[in-house]
């Protein structure tokens, strides 16, 4: 049984990772595939060394099969296919007391604060599990977690039929927010500057604008009959995204902040006055977002497989992260974790 351990200094070592027998209320999973996420890249680059206890197995996007159940677990049995909602709330803080567990003040994000899924065998609390249909393709199922992130953003944004939606950023989450908004019947435009990502977004039939070539606010104004977009999703976490987002929304429009801003970014707050805009952040997901994401992935209503750039053995994790750091054109790379 193997695992990929982050040991600091841009180094991931694949070594022995013995299966942990599940304690009461826990389940041990055999991991099929793990998906590499931007968060994993941040860990690799050392941005999260204050949270990660090295050496530690990282990874939080996965698909797998129940291999062993601990005492008292009745909801799952050996052989069930499942994904993990990779966070555990403290249950005691003010956010938890309000029922907003995904923004727990002491949240334990699996694969960041505690060991993750880039290993053959992963033991987790049963309440983090979501059941998959037996016939689901486990490669596609490894995309359920990011699909749930997007489902959360679309649900909180209250995307409705015929609304004009602008998504800033066509990385995996941006594309998923755009696709899931389109499924709600919205009229979607996605903004992106990277040619590889532009091409991929177009393969999904999305309308794409490159703000380096097109005057994006003017284009959105024209497309919406002078009004502006009902909803703007900022999914880049970048200063240019923060700068432009307020210039795209209609009067009383909604701005949903999905991207992670590691640094403060200037925002034209005057637009909030002029247009009575509203802004709302979204973080992670809630259980119901997995209940949306799983049937969506299983239904194949959207060719999510186009997001999978490559499937590689876990042993190639180090060179894969090095390629990503060098700017490789990847959307989602899956690591085959099975022993």
Taking contact as CB under 5 A, which single stretch among the options 97-105, 162-170, 239-247, 317-325 is the one that binds Zn ion?
Answer: 97-105
Closer Cβ to Zn ion, 68 or 113, answer by number: 113
Residue burial 230-242, b: 16+ Cβ < 10 Å; e: rest: bbbbbbbbbeebb
In the bound complex, what is the minimum distance in angstroms from residue 188's beta carbon to Zn ion? Answer: 22
* Residue 172 or 241 having the CB closest to Zn ion: 172
Closest distance of CB 143 from Zn ion, Å: 10
The reply to whether 42 belongs to the active site is yes
Q: How many CB atoms lie within 10 A of CB 85?
A: 23
Give the integer Cα–Cα distance in Å for 296 and 300.
7
**What is the per-residue binding string for Zn ion in 26-45, x denoting contact by CB under 5 A?**
-----------x--------
In the bound state with Zn ion, the residue whose beta carbon lies nearer, of 96 and 297, is 96
Nearer to Zn ion, 206 or 284 (CB): 284
**Residue 256 has which token pair?**
């949903």
Output 37 or 235, the one with its CB closest to Zn ion: 37
Contact 170, 198 (CB under 8 A): yes
Question: How many residues line the site for Zn ion (CB under 5 A)?
Answer: 6
Min separation Cβ 107 and Zn ion, Å: 7
The answer to whether 320 touches 333, Cβ cutoff 8 Å, is yes
Toward Zn ion, which CB reaches closer, 208 or 304?
Answer: 304
**Interaction of residue 96 with Zn ion, rule CB under 5 A:** yes
Evaluate the omega torsion of the peptide bond into residue 50 and state whether it is cis, within 30 degrees of 0. Answer: no
Q: Compute the least distance from the CB of residue 38 to Zn ion, in Å.
A: 7
Name the minimum Å distance from CB 139 to Zn ion.
16
Q: For 61-204, list the strands marked E by DSSP.
A: 61-69, 81-84, 87-88, 108-109, 121-125, 129-131, 164-168, 187-191
| 39 catalytic residue (yes or no) | yes
User: How far from each other are the two terminal CA atoms of the chain, in whole angstroms?
Assistant: 5
Among 1, 48, 93, 331, binds Zn ion (CB under 5 A): 93
Instruction: Report how far residue 46's alpha carbon sits from residue 247's, in angstroms, rounded to the nearest whole number.
Output: 34
Q: Binding segment for Zn ion among 20-28, 87-95, 174-182, 221-229 (CB under 5 A)?
A: 87-95
CB of 279 to Zn ion, least distance (A): 23
* Burial class of residue 326 in the structure, from the number of CB atoms within 10 Å of its CB (0-12 exposed, 13-18 middle, 19+ buried): exposed
| Span near Zn ion by CB under 5 A; candidates 90-98, 213-221, 275-283, 288-296 | 90-98
Residues 99-138 that bind Zn ion (CB under 5 A): 104
CB 40, CB 58: distance < 8 Å: yes
Which two three-digit tokens encode residue 108? 């334990």
Q: Does 89 bind Zn ion (CB under 5 A)?
A: yes
Based on the shown chain and the rule CB under 5 A, indicate whether residue 274 belongs to the binding site for Zn ion. Answer: no
Of 229, 237, 274, nearest in space to 254 by CA: 229
Which residues are near Zn ion by CB under 5 A?
37, 89-90, 93, 96, 104
Instruction: Give the residue numbers annotated as catalytic, written as ranges.
Output: 39, 42
């Amino acid at each position: 049984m193997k695992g990929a351990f982050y040991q600091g200094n841009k180094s991931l070592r694949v070594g022995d990772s013995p299966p942990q027998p599940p304690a009461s209320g826990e389940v041990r999973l055999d991991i099929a595939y793990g998906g590499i996420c931007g968060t994993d890249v941040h860990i690799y680059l050392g941005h999260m060394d204050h949270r990660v206890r090295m050496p530690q197995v990282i990874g939080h996007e996965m698909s797998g099969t129940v291999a062993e159940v601990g005492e008292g677990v009745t909801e799952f049995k050996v052989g069930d296919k499942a994904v993990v909602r990779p966070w555990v709330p403290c249950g005691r803080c003010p956010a938890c007391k309000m029922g907003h567990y995904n923004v727990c003040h002491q949240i334990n994000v699996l694969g960041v604060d505690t060991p993750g899924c880039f290993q053959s065998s992963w033991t987790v609390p049963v309440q983090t599990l979501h059941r998959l249909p037996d016939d689901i393709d486990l490669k596609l199922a490894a995309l359920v977690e990011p699909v749930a992130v997007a489902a959360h953003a679309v649900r909180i944004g209250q995307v409705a039929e015929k609304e004009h939606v602008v998504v800033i950023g066509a990385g995996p989450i941006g594309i998923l927010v755009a696709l899931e908004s389109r499924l709600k019947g919205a009229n979607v435009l996605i903004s992106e500057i990277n040619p590889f990502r532009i091409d991929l977004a177009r393969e999904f039939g999305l309308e794409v604008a490159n703000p380096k070539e097109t005057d994006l606010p003017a284009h959105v104004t024209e497309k919406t009959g002078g009004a502006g977009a009902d909803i703007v999703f900022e999914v880049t976490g970048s200063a240019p995204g923060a700068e432009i987002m307020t210039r795209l929304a209609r009067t009383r429009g909604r701005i949903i902040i999905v991207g992670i801003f590691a640094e403060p970014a200037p925002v034209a707050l005057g637009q909030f006055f002029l247009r009575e805009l509203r802004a709302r952040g979204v973080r992670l997901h809630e259980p119901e977002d997995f209940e949306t994401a799983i049937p969506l992935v299983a239904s194949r209503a959207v060719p999510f497989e186009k997001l999978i750039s490559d499937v590689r053995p876990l042993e190639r994790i180090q060179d894969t992260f090095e390629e990503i750091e060098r700017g490789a054109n990847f959307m989602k790379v899956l690591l085959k974790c099975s022993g």
